[in-house]
Amino acid sequence: MVFDKEVDATGLNCPLPILRCKKGLSEIEATQVLKVTSTDPGSVKDFNAFCVQTGHELLQLDTDDTIFTFYIKKRSS
């Protein structure tokens, strides 16, 4: 998937992956895509809830055995 910015949150536990995601989203324009990688299994639930609450769109979630990769489209306004 094509993305505009990447954030590495591997090795971090809740709430740090979400905090890194928020920072990354603040650094891109509306409708651009942020890629976030995390190793925290709880981040799957956290990122789903985060996107529902904030209006950003979770475009795709790729999972490896230990790495979760999220592609999040920043809301338009």
pLDDT score at 13: 95
Our measurement of the distance from residue 29's CA atom to the centroid of its chain's CA atoms, rounded to an integer in Å, reads 15
Which residue's structure tokens are 């536990």?
13
pLDDT tens-place values along the chain, 77 residues long: 999 999 999 999 999 999 999 999 999 999 999 999 999 999 999 999 999 999 999 999 999 989 999 999 999 97
SS3 56: coil
Closest CA to 75 of 42, 26, 12, 17: 26
Q: Is 21 a catalytic residue?
A: no
Q: CB-based contacts of 57: which residues, under 8 Å, 6+ apart?
A: 51, 72, 73, 75
- SS3 state of residue 31: coil
Query: Domain coordinates of the chain in residue numbers?
Result: 5-73
What pLDDT is attached to residue 65?
Answer: 87
List 5, 8, 14, 59, catalytic entry: 14
pLDDT at site 24: 98
Any idea which architecture 5-73 has in CATH?
Answer: 2-Layer Sandwich (3.30)
The token duo for 55 is 């209006």
Tell me the whole-structure pTM to 2 decimals: 0.95
